[in-house]
Amino acid sequence: MEIVIIGCGTVGSAICAQLSKEGHNITVVDEDAVAMTELCNTYDVYGVDGNGASISVLRKAGVDKAYLVIAVTASDEINILCCSAARKLGAHHTIARVRNPEYYDFMQLMRQEMNLSLTINPEFYAAKEIYRMLRFPSAAKLETFCRGRVELAEFAITADSPFIGKTLHELRSYLNMNFLVCCVLRGSEVIIPSGDYHIEDGDVLGVTVPEEDTRAFFKAAGIYRHRLKDIMIFGGSRVTYYLQGLLKKGKFSSMVIEKNKEICRDLSAQFDCTVVCDNGAKQEVLLEEGIEHTDAFLALSDVDEENAIVSMYANSIGVPKVITLINQMSYVDFFKSVGIDSVVSPKSSTAGYILRYVRSKMNASGDEEIESIHKIMGEQAEAIEFVIKDEIDGLTGIPLKKLKPKRGVLIICIAHKDQILIPSGDDVISKGDTVVVVTSKAKINSIKDIK
């Protein structure tokens, strides 16, 4: 597929890395020749130096022959202009990154009037991910499928866990509830485990649970945490803005510490939350505002290094839940090495969203549709949600034990009418079902690729 990416920043680089890995023909456009050249050399893609809003630059990048144009520069207005011009020049589909909260309510109108296929808002996706974590603070990461009816939770096994030493077969008997350990991160290796897999201290488990059973599962695992009452937020970033809207709906109480007076005024006027105008990177400020007594601390500033420092401090004094925003993915391993498990990346969320769109367009058979794609287990595995729209030869109506999926591929959930099935070998996939698949190695564009 011919794809043009306009903007070689953090998000553009992440999208380029993922799509080039999947074999697409990528052209990148940016005025920063150094950043563009580095990206071209790293991922073996073609580069065009120039302003993506220029017609001559767009022509040089070949947007007239492009199946998809993705505009992710730092300017919302330029992104919209690039995509609108690209469609006029002949591009089949366009995606624009639009981050400004003031444009949020006009997204649908904007797509229609500017002829955009899709608009993406990385900070809004990040805020939704953080909100899910706050709903179930026991999980380091939580993804939802089947319209919220199924949850895939990641959590680390600690030395006092009752799970240590048990096989997955023994764990199912021990808990006697509906769940599936669908993947394990041990060190740097992702494993799709069999029933005789032994759980060890330090393992990170990915567990699929029906939404109504999630709380009971965490209680049985001995890691359940009660609903968070007091949330302290460091930084008044765009993520904070979107999160406050979600917190208001969920009736959470929060305090934001931000040193920029104008941002403080905006947050205070928009939301019913406590806003403190001060430098939250200072220990004395955090102590004065009661960090020791808060249920959750969210480091959501635009500076990764500051987020790391204050998160480490919050961990060191025993704050029950610490969530850290990170833009540079090269910092992720460092953050986790110092005990920061709950890391959120707008870049990662955006790349996953675009990947879903691209794979959906590639799969033109009409008998299935990709509903969502989530990167899990430190970005080393994927959970893909398919909607089965028609009968599929060699797949539907066949017991799962006879399908024999590829190594590193596991069907983790089937939503059949009103039922949520954590599947056994005797279950079958039927027309109208929603099927969730986890893969650690195989590239899957279609449900047919699981075999």
Residue 255: inside a domain, yes or no? yes
Residues 99 and 173 occupy one common structural domain: no
Residues 34 and 70 occupy one common structural domain: yes
**End residue of a domain, out of 221, 245, 272:** 221
Residue 335: inside a domain, yes or no? no
Distance CA 330, CA 350 (A): 17
pLDDT digits over 63-84, tens only? Answer: 999 999 999 998 999 999 999 9
Residues with Cβ within 8 Å of residue 194, at least 6 apart in sequence: 168
Task: Count the Cβ atoms, other than its own, within 10 Å of residue 285.
Answer: 16
Given a cut of 70, the residues of the chain with pLDDT beneath it are 104-105, 107-108, 329-333, 336-338, 363-366
Residue 330: inside a domain, yes or no? no
Residue 337: inside a domain, yes or no? no
Residues 284 and 260 occupy one common structural domain: yes
Residues 43 and 132 occupy one common structural domain: no
| Cα–Cα nearest to 6, from 122, 124, 95 | 95
Residues 48 and 68 occupy one common structural domain: yes
Residues 47 and 66 occupy one common structural domain: yes
Burial of 82 (0-12, 13-18, 19+ CB in 10 A): buried
Residue 432 exposure: Cα atoms within 13 Å on the Cβ side:
4
For position 369, which CATH number holds?
3.30.70.1450
**End residue of a domain, out of 204, 221, 238:** 221
DSSP state of 272: S
Encoded tokens for 426: 């005797």
Residues with Cβ within 8 Å of residue 247, at least 6 apart in sequence: 131, 134, 231, 254, 271, 273
Cα angle 412, 413, 418 (rounded to 5 degrees) comes to 170
Q: Return the sign of the alpha-carbon dihedral for residues 308, 339, 151, 183.
A: positive
DSSP state of 428: B
Residue 13: inside a domain, yes or no? yes
The pLDDT value recorded for residue 329 is 65
Residues 30 and 112 occupy one common structural domain: yes
Residues 142 and 100 occupy one common structural domain: no
For position 43, which CATH number holds?
3.40.50.720
The pLDDT value recorded for residue 23 is 86
Compute CA distances 362 → 68, 87, 352, 359, 436, whole Å.
11, 19, 15, 5, 19
DSSP state of 198: B
The pLDDT value recorded for residue 136 is 83
Residues 114 and 178 occupy one common structural domain: no
Residues 167 and 110 occupy one common structural domain: no
**End residue of a domain, out of 196, 221, 246:** 221
Residues 375 and 436 occupy one common structural domain: yes
Range of the domain at 141: 126-221
The pLDDT value recorded for residue 340 is 74
Residue 241: inside a domain, yes or no? yes
Residue 284: inside a domain, yes or no? yes
Residue 398: inside a domain, yes or no? yes
| Cα–Cα nearest to 57, from 89, 99, 11 | 89
Residues 107 and 139 occupy one common structural domain: no
Phi, psi of 18 (to 5 degrees): -70, -45
CB 71 within 8 A of CB 78: yes
| 3-class DSSP assignment, residue 57 | helix
Domain count, the chain: 4
The pLDDT value recorded for residue 415 is 94
The pLDDT value recorded for residue 330 is 65
| Cα–Cα nearest to 407, from 442, 445, 383, 444 | 442
Burial of 402 (0-12, 13-18, 19+ CB in 10 A): exposed
